[in-house]
Amino acid sequence: MFRGLIVLAPALVAGISFASTRYAFAEDIKLPATLTFTAYDTGTAGFNIAVGVGKMMKDKYSTDVRVLPAGNDVARLAPLRAKRAASSAMGSGTYFAQEGVFEFGAKEWGPQPLQIMLSSVDCNCGSLGVAADTGVKELKDLKGKRVGFVVGSPALNQNSLAVLAFAGLTQKDVKAVEFASYGAMWKGLINNDVDAAFGTTITGPAKEAETSPRGLIWPPLPAKDKEGWARMQKVGSFFFPQVATCGAGISPEKPVELGNYPYPIFVAYATQPADQVYAMTKAMIVNYDAYKDSAPGAGGLAADRQTKNWVVPVHPGAVKALKEAGQWSDAQEAHNNKLFKRQEVLAAAWAEYGKSNPPSDDKAFLDGWMKARAAALAKADMPNGFED
């Protein structure tokens, strides 16, 4: 919607120096002349919401925001890690990056100290969208069907496996089809190269699929199916049951019981200055009305709608902004501090593993790291989360 507002000038980014003034009012918020965010491909929910936030920053603070589209989690985080971006609109990949698992268990990455600014939970959900012409009605009907996976995107892939697990299915029960990006996967569904793809119900590609000749449905994940949810949360612990009332083929009149987690999640690195993250978060909180209707899902970024006590900590700069908005508690402070400690344990384990002369073979390296990771978390009396 606002693509014409995206500035293609070089980015000023995470290393930007912000004044250390204690910002008490919206008019005191100081943002740089230029910021760069990363998000999923053009037209996706995360991209559209990031652009809406960027328009607000342009209108209110004369800050030009450049939104870089990227097809997978690694591509979204690379500019942020390199300090060429100030924030990334992530999904559950935030958790996998923090934990240093899947693609983030590679020697080039390891556990990433990502921390949350604001995240969105709205009327939408995230699940497997299935081409209507397949005849699939329930998730168990996906057995033998083609399911999309994205190279370099552990979030999407693990999400798909979690939804399949709800029906007692694994990757071996379906025909996995790999794509280079999220957008390419959904194009593959439209072009009959795949039968199912994971996404949020409000993502642009899902709407395209719904209006295509193939059509689109969302097989339900009923909350009353406790065994199904137990299987699903074993693979994706970050999911929770939710009724979707908006999205492709979904409305308040035609809701669907699905699953959800915060998306997008605007994240920063722990190393980014607290006053920088505070200013961006504060701007999003006090100017919420200016962007909440800019794109489907943007309304979920309200300060009073933040997911509490999730699996990734909130950045100290964002905590300050949430406290000022009256949306922080002592219980959440205690939970957040435990998550900071978890990131410290993971970082120390990664450093020690690097000193242990780990194998050069990629698979052997990852296997060795996962064992070292498990041992370090067990010693710290912290849950593993990836036993299988």
Phi-psi group of 43: left, alpha or beta (phi > 0 → left; psi -120 to 50 → alpha; rest → beta): left
* Predicted local confidence at residue 25, as pLDDT: 41
Q: Return the pLDDT at 43.
A: 87
Please list the pLDDT of the chain residue by residue as tens digits (388 residues). Answer: 333 343 333 333 333 333 333 333 445 799 999 999 999 989 888 999 999 999 999 999 999 999 999 988 999 999 999 999 999 999 989 999 999 999 999 999 999 999 999 999 999 999 999 999 999 999 999 999 999 999 988 878 999 999 999 999 999 999 999 999 999 999 999 999 999 999 999 999 999 999 999 999 999 999 999 999 999 999 998 899 999 999 999 999 999 999 999 999 999 999 999 999 999 999 999 999 999 999 999 999 999 999 999 999 999 999 999 999 999 999 999 999 999 999 999 999 999 999 999 999 999 999 999 999 999 999 999 999 887 5
| Separation of CA 183 from chain center | 16
pLDDT of residue 27: 54
Q: What's the rounded Cα separation, in Å, for the pair 259 and 103?
A: 24
pLDDT at 388: 59
Q: Write down the pLDDT at residue 84.
A: 97
- 180: Cβ contacts below 8 Å, ≥ 6 apart: 71, 150, 151
Q: Which run of H or E residues covers position 34?
A: strand 34-39
Q: Is 102 left (phi over 0), alpha (psi -120 to 50) or beta?
A: left
Q: Determine the pLDDT at residue 5.
A: 40
pLDDT at 108: 97
Sequence-ordered alpha helix ranges (H) in 102-203: 154-166, 182-190
The predicted structure's pLDDT at residue 12:
33
State the pLDDT at residue 272: 97
The structure's pTM equals 0.81
Helices (H), the chain: 45-61, 73-81, 93-99, 154-166, 182-190, 204-211, 226-235, 274-286, 288-291, 316-324, 330-354, 362-379
Residues 207, 197: contact at Cβ < 8 Å?
Answer: no
